[in-house]
Amino acid sequence: MAFKNKSVGKAHSVTRFYIAGLKDRGPELAALNDNYKGTLLVEHTNKLQATYAEQKARALQEIETVKAELIAALDSNKGLDAAKLTPDYELLRLPVILTGDEILELNRRNPNDVLFTRALRQYAKQHGIEADITDTYANRRAAIDELINHTAAIIKNDDAETFRDLDTMGAYERLDDRITV
């Protein structure tokens, strides 16, 4: 499966790998019951459970790393950088008032420019124009949170069925589309 955003792909891979490992746990625990009794069984079972806990902790840490990568990439477009100012800012200074459709087109042309989104909102408000100006930053941030929360919950709860359902329904691809603008 190819994702547009490599961090989304990494979150999917980490979860898929962790969930795939769950299949081996039943036979591993059954083998311990067949091979050990009493104190040795408890000792080996505890070691195996500790290994599973380490795998879960490692997977959750990787998911947190993915979250940090996604947020850092998203925030890199948030700062005030004169080099990133588009000529579209000048359109807001024209002696004619832009229409709602023109404002929406400007919003679509500059999806990652948080400052420009604010300027468009202010312009629309100042001129009494109704326009559904999309805050792409907020939408992308919400998609990142949704991806991380679902993925972490799947891992924490060893929920192979939910992962399989989300994967089959294309949930990761839809989040990838929302995150990658």
Taking only the tens place, the pLDDT of each residue in 54-70 is 999 999 999 999 999 99
Angle value at C-alpha 150, between 145 and 156, nearest 5 degrees: 120
Per-residue model confidence (pLDDT) at position 82: 64
Q: Distances in Å between the alpha carbon of 107 and those of 71, 73, 103, 131?
A: 21, 20, 6, 10
3-state helix, strand, coil in the chain (%, to 5): 75, 0, 25
Mean pLDDT, rounded, for 117-127: 91
What is the spatial distance between Cα 6 and Cα 13, in angstroms, rounded to a whole number?
10
Per-residue pLDDT for 108 more than 70? yes
Please report, for the chain, the start and end positions of each structural domain, with discontinuous segments joined by +: 1-181
What is the spatial distance between Cα 135 and Cα 177, in angstroms, rounded to a whole number?
15
What is the spatial distance between Cα 75 and Cα 67, in angstroms, rounded to a whole number?
12
